[in-house]
Amino acid sequence: MVSADEGWAITGPNGPRGSSIILHYDQGHWEYADGVNSLDLCAVDMVSPDEGWAVGDGGIAHYYAGRWHTERADVRLTTLHMLSSREGWAVGPDLLLHYTGGQWERVPTPPIVYKVSNFNPAFQSIRMVSPNEGWIVGNLGAILHYNNGGWAQYPSPTDGNLNALDMVSPTEGWAVGFQGTILHHQDGVWRLYGR
């Protein structure tokens, strides 16, 4: 939501029109948005009422000048977090992109050592707390921390898949995942909630 009276939502690829659709909430009701509904999008992040981004299996869409435009169709992404109209991050099953200087660029990720075996990363969610710090969670308990210009693996208390996270401050956050797993980050440590 960009305000109490305006917001955006995306249905999954099995939406009422047979593919994902973008919905716009304005002045008390939801309407279908024109533009890029065939991209199979799954996440949206608006930086203002006039600009935003959406990502999914079909690529990246950019909202400006009153409509959605296809930005890239060659990437598979699960979610994104925009810090401003000039900077943002997006993740996919095995992909990390950084938006700066008007372009989305691939960022190398560190090798991830899993508790059960070595796999390619499968990133599910990203949340930046500032341009200089952020977090990624993913499959098999993967947690990455961005600090001082680089991403590094961070100790995880689980090997279950993590699907989403949100940081309420630079020092506290939550992640959720497989079979009701809940992680709480506080005092520099991710812990299983309730244990």
In this predicted structure, what is the pLDDT of residue 10? 87
Please give the average per-residue pLDDT across 77-100, as a whole number. Answer: 94
Mean pLDDT of 60-75: 90
Share of the chain above pLDDT 70, in %: 89
How does pLDDT run across 153-191, given as a tens digit for each residue? 999 999 999 999 999 999 999 999 999 999 999 999 999
Provide the CATH number for the domain around residue 83: 2.130.10.10
pLDDT per position as a tens digit, 134-158:
999 999 999 999 998 999 999 999 9
Per-residue pLDDT at 106 exceeds 60? yes
In a domain, residue 73? The reply is yes
Residue 102 domain boundaries = 41-192
Give the pLDDT score at 14: 57
In a domain, 8, yes or no: no
Average of per-residue pLDDT values in the chain: 89
133 lies in some domain: yes
Q: Is the pLDDT of residue 95 over 80?
A: yes
Residue 95 in domain: yes
Q: Is residue 9 part of a domain?
A: no
178 φ/ψ angles, rounded to the nearest 5 degrees: -50, 135
CA neighbor of 52 nearest in space, from 68, 63, 36: 63
pLDDT tens, residue by residue, 17-35:
556 788 899 989 999 887 6
What pLDDT shows up at residue 119? 62
Distances (CA, A) of 168 to 5, 164, 173, 180: 24, 13, 5, 20
For the chain, how many structural domains are there in total? 1
Q: What is the mean pLDDT of residues 89-109?
A: 93
Residue 53 lies in a domain: yes
Closest by CA to 151, choosing from 103, 188, 111, 184, is: 111
Let me know if residue 4 belongs to a domain.
Answer: no
Is residue 85 domain-resident? yes
pLDDT value, residue 154: 95
